[in-house]
Structure 1
């Protein structure tokens, strides 16, 4: 998508990021029987303290189109990453902006940032049976399924682990 930039979120963005993230997860059906996850998604200030919250912005309008949180191992939101790896979580695209390359731009920003940090890989997890378009995006970018990383944070939620090796790391 032309006219799109990705930058680190600031405190003035947090309320919009919270709304957008919850709306995207609701639109995808991921918050049914969600075990309190909407509150975690909405707590952008904590995510920003413990990781990097990145936002995709429409350059023409300044409208926030998506967000993602990049974390390193041992931090509060890290679930899969091990030493030398980065992990991104809570990738969300405004339902009205889906299909415009926003998700791909956010993924690319995470991969670039992980490379800058000297990481050897980026790991993520996706909810089984949800977000087929996201899974296609990750596969196109080179993420591969790593069944050993699969896990279930709560009953009824099965997460699939994916990994992208970073060249030159």
Structure 2
């Protein structure tokens, strides 16, 4: 998408990121009967203290289009990643901005960040039965299902594990 900038969220962005993330999850039907997760989604300051919250903004208007949380193994928000791996979570795109490449730009920013940090892979999970657009996006990016990483945080909530092996950097010289 042209005119899209992905950057690290500033504290001034946190309230807007919280509103957008909760709205995106609600629009997708993922928060029905799960008010506790809405609270976690809205706690952007804690996410930012534990990882990197990235935002996608429209360069022309400055409007927030989406956000994602990037984390490393051993940090509080890491659910699936092991040593040498990175993970991203809570990928959310404003329902009014969906279909413009925002989710792909945020996911690619996480993959780039993981590569910069020397990670061997990026792992994620997605909720079974939801976000079919997300499923297609992850397939296009090269993520593969890793059923051994599937898990359930609550009864009736099944999360499917996915992994993308990152290219090994070739030393210069």
TM-score range (shorter-chain normalised) is over 0.9
Q: For residue 98 of structure 2, what is the aligned residue in structure 1?
A: 98
Q: 2:112 corresponds to which residue?
A: 112
- Provide the residue aligned with 2:36 in structure 1: 36
Deviation at residue 34 of structure 1 after TM alignment: 1.3
TM-score (norm 1): 0.99
Residue pairs, 1:129-144, within 5 angstroms:
129-144=129-144
- SS of corresponding position for 1:36: helix
Structure 1 residue 35, shift from structure 2 partner? 5.0
1:64 aligns to what? 64
Q: Deviations 1:24-54 (Å, cap 9, x if unpaired)?
A: 0000000002151000000000000000000
RMSD value over aligned CA atoms?
Answer: 0.6
Match of 1:79 in 2: 79
Secondary structure at the residue paired with 2:2? coil
Distance in 1 between residues matched to 2:35 and 2:78, nearest whole Å: 19
Structure 2: tracts of 5 or more residues without a match: none
Computing the radius of gyration over CA atoms, which structure comes out larger, 1 or 2?
A: 2
Instruction: Supply the distance in 2 between the matched residues of 1:136 and 1:34 (Cα, whole angstroms).
Output: 25
* CA–CA separation in structure 2 for the residues paired with 1:35 and 1:161: 23
SS in 2 for 1:31: coil
Instruction: Give the CA deviation at 1:74.
Output: 1.0
Aligned length: 169
Matched, 1:167 2:164: no
Structure 1 outlier segments of 4+, above 3 Å: none
- The alignment partner of 1:135 has SS state of helix
Q: Distance in 1 between matches of 2:147 and 2:79?
A: 15
